[in-house]
Amino acid sequence: MDASAPLVRPARPEDARAMAEVIVRSWRETYRGLMPDRVLDDPGFVDVRERFWTTALTDDRHRDKRIAIAEVGDAVVGVAMAGPPEPPALPWRSHLYVLYVLAAHHGTGIGADLLDAVVPPGSSAALWVASENPRALAFYRKHGFVTDGTVQVDDGVRELRMVRAGD
């Protein structure tokens, strides 16, 4: 396999630090101006996210989650996580909790590969996306998601719920 070709694979506990770094860098690239700088520039931000990923990858409470990373060469460039919806009575099969790809890799197909790795293609799913993120909104629309009119505010960011019908 070409060393520069992306590889999407299930995440492992030893990936937690790299995953945290990708998430923090992606948030800084995506949410600067939407989230408070104090959140994005917190010196402990990467450590907090690393603890989150370590728990997600090792704790039995998260065994029903599908977690994948995308690598180019030896570098992690994207992260995705999906699992059952919470609460479970919601009418879709999966909830996409995380999907981030570093800006330098936007438009390469890595996001679509990560989405397919954690949410089966054609299956019903839901997610939250920042209303001020037109690139993400277009990406999810391309993959069959539509806004359903539900809005929430999380960390000061207005988010729209998007859903996809399926099996």
**Whole-structure pTM value:** 0.92
Does residue 167 sit within a domain?
Answer: no
Does residue 131 sit within a domain?
Answer: no
Backbone angles phi, psi at 27, to 5 degrees: -60, -40
pLDDT digit string (tens) for the chain, length 167 residues:
455 789 999 999 999 999 999 999 999 998 888 888 888 999 999 999 999 999 999 999 999 999 999 999 999 999 999 999 887 767 888 999 999 999 999 999 999 999 999 999 889 999 999 999 999 999 999 999 999 999 999 877 899 999 999 87
Does residue 129 sit within a domain?
Answer: no
Does residue 147 sit within a domain?
Answer: no
Q: Total domain count for the chain?
A: 1
> CATH number for the domain including 90?
3.40.630.30
* Interacting residues of 21 by C-beta distance below 8 A, sequence separation 6+: 46, 76
Q: What is the pLDDT of residue 166?
A: 80
Q: Give the E-state strand segments of 40-83 in sequence order.
A: 66-72, 75-83
